[in-house]
Every structure is written in structure tokens, then in C-alpha cells.
Amino acid sequence: MTTPPSSQNPAGTGTRGGAAPLLGRKAAKVDRLAELMGERGDDGHGAGVWREAFLRMRRSPMAISGAVIVTVFVLVALFSPLIAPYSPTAQTWGAEVFPNRNVFVGPRAENLLGLDNLGRDQFSRMVIGARQTLLVGVVATLVGFCVGALLGGSAGAAASLGGAWGRRFDNVVMRVIDMMLALPTLLLAVTVAALIGPSLTTVMIAVGVAQIPIFARLLRGAMISQGSRDYVLAAQALGVRKRRIALAHILPNSMGPVIVQSTLTLATAIIDAAALSYLGLGNPDPAFPEWGTMLADAQRFLSSAPSLAVYPALAIIVTALGFTLLGEAMREALDPKVRK
């Protein structure tokens, strides 16, 4: 349950073969510390690492602020129809707002955050938008996680257990992954989006696809570093079937960094989704306001009604920050080297 060598060097594309001695040395160091740590676990099954990580996180202000932000965001998103006082699409106050003449309505008793450029209640749109944003983030992360874990997991298992053919398979898969990494994330997303046309699904798939190579590399790295551990050797010696070793022994022990990465990916997914919306590839349906689309739409009025852009922008920044803080805190808590 250690941070794998690849996450010491999260951007370490292409140095896979080249930097092995350096990373190998680091991995050895991390692994030894992790073993020491594992021995102190109550049941000896490595659960101690998670418990200790949790205890450490409870003391970390970073983790607490992250967790609070994320909890509030998720609660708002889940109960948004109950919280939002008005419909996000009803242009109830349409007669009070004239964007052409720079007439906007700011916060007031009935509209907590004022009205948007079409006379809709900004607060309701923000609240409903939270749900869309959460949906985009979660689905995109799941797409990246599932496909990436499948690719990286099979490559990692093949490399550590499959012998010469396994290493060959691993090599082919990793070439494909390297190729995907060669496309900058945003371009990859734009390419996918250009293929399937603008919609919410497009954004989710596009952002998710761009995350696949990261998850794949991470899980593969973690599985290979676990593959050389004593417990794997022991299982092999006992004659446990390879598929079982890979799925029941190596995989669960390699999930730590991947779970951390998922938390961080939720943040990037929300930001990337906003960028795609800005590029006009987001959901054109006004019934489902999403923060990225709202922000992109509000840019036109930035000099006359900055608040229209600032609310969704702040929401995106704070939410992304929440996930990032939580992810970083988890990474630190799980990393024995940072533990003092």
C-alpha cells in the first residue's frame, strides 16, 4: 500500500524504461518503510495502513477543509431540487433585466444571488448546476478509472506474473498508453467532442477519455511494484492461481494511489469540463445549467455584470480545491515518507 514510483514523478511520461534505476531505488526505499508500517497494523493484513492514514488525515487541516468542501458540495448536489427556491429555467423576472442596456439585478431578498442575463434566479441555477457538475465529474472520472484500470491492471498483472509473453503484452499496452499521453488532455477531449457533437455526454466522455492513460500508468506502476513483494512470491509458492494472485492479492494492495488519483481527477474533470463548455462543446440545453456553461455564457457580461461570471467561477474553484485538498491529504497520509 505504498505510493508507487510513478506517483513520485506523476508527469514522468516516456522515462519509463530510462529512469528505472532511479525510480527503482526510490521504490525500494518506499517499500521497506511500508513494510515497517504494515507490521504495526493490528491484524497484520495491511489494514493498519488505512487506519493510520485516516487518523493522520483527521489531524490534517488540509484534509478537513477538503472533506468539508466536498461534503457540502455533494449534499447540495444531491438535494438541489429541494434547496433551489425557483425553477432554473423560468424567466420569471425577464422584464427586469436588459443585458443590452447593462441593466442587471443584483442580490436581493427574493433572489439571493440576483438574476442572470435572462431574468432567471441565479441562486437556483447555481444549486441545480452543482448537480450537473457533480454528475460530469463523477461520470468522467468513472470512465477514466474503469477503462484506465482495465488497461493498466491487465498490463501490470501480465508484466508481474505473465513471464516473457506477459511483458510483451505489457509493452504493447503501454505503447498505446504512451500514445494517448502524447495527445495533450484538452486536445484529446476536443477531438472526442468533435466526433460526437456537443452535449453533456460528450463532455463526460471526452474528459474521461483524457484521464484513461493516467489511471492506466498509475495502476500498472503500482501493480508491478507490488508484484515483486514477498507475499506474491509466497502465494505463487503455495500454488495459488495466477488470476487469483492478480485479482485478490496484488490488485487490492495497488488501489491506494488509484483512489487518490480519482479524487484529484474529480477536480481536473470539473475544470476540464468548464473549458470544454467554454469551447462550445458543452451541453446546449438550458434546462440543465452546469457551472462551466454558466461561466462561459457569463463571460460576455464580465465588464458590466462581473458577478454572473464570478459565482460559477468561484464555485468551480472552491469545489475543485476541495477535491484537490482531499486528494493531496490522502496522498500525504498514505505516503510513509511524509509521515513524521
- Which residues are CB-contacts of 104 (< 8 A; sequence separation ≥ 6)? 97, 114, 115, 117, 301, 304, 305, 308
Q: Give the residue with the Cβ less far from another protein, 71 or 171.
A: 171
What does the per-residue mask of binding to another protein show for 264-293, with x meaning CB under 8 A?
---x---x--xx--xxxx----------x-
Report whether 238 contacts 248 (CB < 8 A).
no
User: CA-CA distance, 240 to 223, in Å (whole number)?
Assistant: 17
Number of residues in contact with another protein, rule: CB under 8 A? 54
Q: Can you read off the three cell numbers belonging to residue 125?
A: 441555477
Alpha-carbon distances of 178 from 12, 15, 126, 167, 303, rounded to whole Å: 11, 10, 38, 16, 43
Site for another protein in 195-214 (CB under 8 A): 195, 197
Closest approach, Cβ 30 to another protein, in A, equals 12
Nearest to 259 by CA among 215, 221, 223: 215
- Which residues are CB-contacts of 190 (< 8 A; sequence separation ≥ 6)? 206, 276, 279, 281
Q: Give the residue with the Cβ less far from another protein, 78 or 179.
A: 179
When binding is defined by CB under 8 A, the residue of 53, 206, 209, 313 that contacts another protein is 313
10 Å Cβ neighbour count for 267? 25
Q: Decide: is 185 part of the binding site for another protein (CB under 8 A).
A: yes
Q: Give the residue with the Cβ less far from another protein, 127 or 305.
A: 305
Part in contact with another protein (CB under 8 A); list of ranges 8-16, 81-89, 139-147, 215-223: 8-16
User: CA-CA distance, 183 to 214, in Å (whole number)?
Assistant: 12
Q: Decide: is 248 part of the binding site for another protein (CB under 8 A).
A: no
Q: Decide: is 21 part of the binding site for another protein (CB under 8 A).
A: yes
Q: Decide: is 61 part of the binding site for another protein (CB under 8 A).
A: no
Q: Give the residue with the Cβ less far from another protein, 97 or 313.
A: 313
Residues at the site binding another protein, with contacts judged by CB under 8 A: 8-9, 11-15, 17-22, 175-176, 178-179, 182-187, 190-191, 193-195, 197, 267, 271, 274-275, 278-281, 292, 295-296, 299, 302-303, 306, 309, 313, 316-317, 320-321, 324-325, 328, 337
